[in-house]
Amino acid sequence: MLKKNNNYEDIYESFQWDVPKYFNMGVSVCDHHADLTPDKVALIVEQADGFIERYSFEELRRFTNKLANLLVSKGVKRENRVSVLLTQSMETAASHVASWKAGFITIPLFTLFQQDALEFRLNNSTARVLVTDKENYQKIKPLRAHLPALEFVFLIDGEDEGALDLYKELEGVSEEFTPITTKPDDPALIIYTSGTTGNPKGALHGHRVLLGHIPCVQMCHEFAPVENDLFWTPAEWAWIGGLMNILMAALYLGIPVLAYRARKFDPEAALSLMERHGVRNIFMPPTALKIMRQLDDIAERYDLKLRTVTVGGEPMGEELLQWGRKAFGVTINEFFGQTECNLVASNCAKIMPVKPGSMGRPVPGHHVAIVNQEGKEVPRGEVGDIAVHKDDPVQLLHYWDNPQATEKKYRNDWLIMGDQGYMDEDGYIFFVGRDDDLITSAGYRIGPSEIEDCLTKHEAVAMAAVIGVPDPIRTESVKAFIILRDGFSPSTQLETTLRNFVKDKLSPHEYPRAIEFVEKLPLTETGKIRRKDLRAQEIEKQKTT
C-alpha cells in the first residue's frame, strides 16, 4: 500500500514490498472483507435489461465457498486448470475467487474468441473445467472430441449436452470452506498473450501478482480507496486490464465494482451508465475514449461524479489528455504494463505534473529502465527497450509449457517489455513504438504513435493508424490509414492538408507520404490497433501491382 504523500520522490524512495510468507488472492479479495465488513457491497451487476443486483462480500464468500466445494467434490485437484468463458458478471468473479481459494489455476477466456482460439488455449493449458453459458458453449460443443482434458463444463443459465447446470449442481452444497494455504509464488492464473508471431503464450502468474498491481492502482487512481469510490471499466474481465487492474484490485482495496458489459461499446450508453450509478473511477482503453471524444458537450449533458480516469494499453497522446480535462473535469492518468508484467509505470496528477505523451514514471516498488541490446541501461533521452528488473512480484512466473519463450523474455537481469521508449531527465517514460512497429525511414527511427496522435488533433480525423511500408529509397515510408469524422469526405485536397498538418505540427521527416481513408481499422480483442495486419495487407498489395 502506498503511503499518502504529495511528493512522488518521497513515495518512491520510501516504498518497500511487504509480501507475506503465505498469501491467497481469493481470500484477500473476498474472505478478508467478509470478516471485517460482511454487509459491504462488493459487486453491482446491471443486466442488459436494466435489472440490477448487489452482492455483499459475505454473499460472495458464501457463493465462492459453495463453488469451491462443488469443484473439489468433482475431483478437481490443486493446480488443476479452471477456465472461465463469461462476460462481466458475478459468476465470472466468483469462478476465479473460488478457484484460487481451492488452490486451482484459472484461465480467463474472451467471449469473442472463436473455435480455433478457444481450442488452442483449452488444450495448451489442459483445462479440466470450463464455466460458461449456453451461448458460448455452442462454440465449445463441437470441440469436445478435440479437448481430451476438459472433463466438466458448467453453464450458469441451464444445461446442455455434455454440460451441467451450475446452479442445480450447487443445490445443497455446503457454504463452509477452508481455503487452501498458498504461498505468493504458487501458481494461480494463466492469461494468454495475443502475441505478434506464433501461437499465443500463456503467462503464468502466482498469487503475488495481485500485490504487484496494488501500488499502481493506488497511484493512477490517486490514493484509492477514497470514500464512495466505485470502479468500472468497459474492458472485458478476460484481460489482465479488466480482471486485475479493476475487478480484483478494487475488491482487494474493499472498493465495490460495477459489472456491465454491452455487446458493443456505445459511448452514450457508457456515459449514462456512469451517471446512473455514480461511478467514480474508470479504466478506459484509448480506443473507447477516442470514440467517446466524438460526442459533444459531455460535461453539460451528463452529471458525472468521476474522481479518477485512467487509460492504458496504447499511448493516449496530448489530444486525449486535453479533451479529458474538458469532458470529465479531471486529468486522465495513463499507465503502462503488459500481460506478463503489468502496471509498472504511471502518471498521478495529484503528486506530479502529467507530461503530454508520457506514460508517467516508475511506480513505487518497480525498477523500470531503458536498456540496450546488451541489457545495460542507456543514458537519459536515448531510445532503447523498456525493461523491468526481474525481482518484481508483478512479473510472470514463466510462460506455460514454453521455457524457450521464457528465456527469450529476459536479457541479463531485465524482463524486456517488447516496447521501445526513452526516459527523460525527470524520469518520465515516453513510448516510441513496439519493436516491430518502429518505422525506419531515411536513417530515422520513427514511432507511429506520435504521428497518430498528431493526426487525431485535426478536426477531420476520428482515428488514425500509421505503419511503415517498403520504400526502395528510404527503406520504409510512412503511410496513414484514417477514419474521418462525420461531415468530412475523402479528397486529394484533404490528403494534402493532413500531410502539411503533420509537417507543421510534428516534423517534416515524419509526415505520411501515403494516406488511405478507411471505414474501419483492424483491432485486437482489447481495442489496440493491429498494425501488423495493416502491414501484411500492404505487402500483399505490392505483390499484385
pLDDT in tens, 460-506: 999 999 999 988 777 789 999 999 999 999 999 999 999 999 988 87
C-alpha cell at position 225: 480507496
pLDDT value of position 246: 98
- For residue 108, give the nearest of 79, 87, 130, 84 by alpha carbon: 84
C-beta atoms surrounding 125 within 10 Å? 22
pLDDT > 50? residue 197: no
Question: Cell for 267?
Answer: 459511448
The pLDDT of 270-279, averaged and rounded, is 97
Q: Which residue has the higher pLDDT, 433 or 481?
A: 481
Under the banding of pLDDT at 50, 70 and 90, the label for residue 509 is confident
Closest CA to 107 of 336, 337, 339: 339
Least confident piece of the model among 364-368, 447-451, 454-458, 461-465: 447-451
**Domain regions of the chain by residue span:** 22-423, 436-543
**Lowest-confidence pick of 63-67, 118-122, 186-190:** 118-122
Give the mean pLDDT of the chain.
93
Query: What are residue 357's phi and psi, to 5 degrees?
Result: 90, -10
Question: In which region does residue 281 sit, left (phi positive, over 0), alpha (psi from -120 to 50) or beta (all else)?
Answer: beta
DSSP 252-271: HTT--EEE---SS--HHHHH
| pLDDT recorded at residue 433 | 78
Question: Which grid coordinates belong to 207?
Answer: 498469487
Q: May I ask the CATH architecture of the domain 22-423?
A: 3-Layer(aba) Sandwich (3.40)
Averaged pLDDT, 315-342: 92
The band of 443, judged by pLDDT with boundaries at 50, 70 and 90, is: low
Residue 17 neighbours by CB under 8 Å, 6+ apart: 211, 365, 393
Residue 193: which H helix or E strand, with range?
none
Helices first, then strands: H and E counts in the chain: 19, 27
One-letter identity of residue 368: V
Per-residue pLDDT at 338: 92
| Cis-peptide into 470, omega within 30 deg | no
Chain segment 399-429, per-residue pLDDT in tens:
999 999 999 999 999 999 989 999 999 999 9
* Composition of the chain by helix, strand, coil, percent to 5: 35, 25, 40
Task: Give me the mean pLDDT over the 102-111 stretch.
Answer: 96
Instruction: Check residue 196 and give its pLDDT.
Output: 41
Given this model, what pLDDT does residue 194 score? Answer: 61
Mean pLDDT along residues 275-304: 92
Q: What is the pLDDT of residue 287?
A: 76
Q: Which helix (H) or strand (E) holds 54?
A: strand 52-56
Judging by DSSP bridges, how do beta strands 257-259 and 308-311 pair with one another?
A: unpaired
Average pLDDT over residues 7-16: 96
Q: What is the pLDDT of residue 115?
A: 87
Q: What is the pLDDT of residue 364?
A: 98
pLDDT of 195 strictly over 60: no
- Work out the pLDDT band at 392, boundaries 50, 70, 90: very high
Q: Residue range 376-383: average pLDDT?
A: 97
Domain 436-543, CATH: 3.30.300.30
Candidates 31, 202, 184, 246; CA nearest to 109 is 202
Most confident of 295-304, 432-441, 534-543: 295-304
CB contact at 8 A, 88 and 49 = no
**Residue 187: which pLDDT band, with cuts at 50, 70 and 90?**
very high
Count Cβ atoms within 10 A of the Cβ of residue 521 and give its class: 0-12 exposed, 13-18 middle, 19 or more buried: middle
Lowest mean pLDDT among 72-81, 169-178, 515-524: 515-524
Count CA atoms closer than 13 A to 248's CA, side-chain side: 32
* pLDDT for the residue numbered 198: 59
**Which pLDDT belongs to residue 113?**
84
Adjacent-strand bridge partners of 415: 388, 410
Average pLDDT over residues 236-262: 95
Residue 17 binned pLDDT confidence (cut-offs 50, 70, 90): very high
State residue 445's pLDDT score.
Answer: 65
Position 67 pLDDT exceeds 80: yes
Do 127 and 150 contact (CB within 8 A), yes or no?
Answer: yes
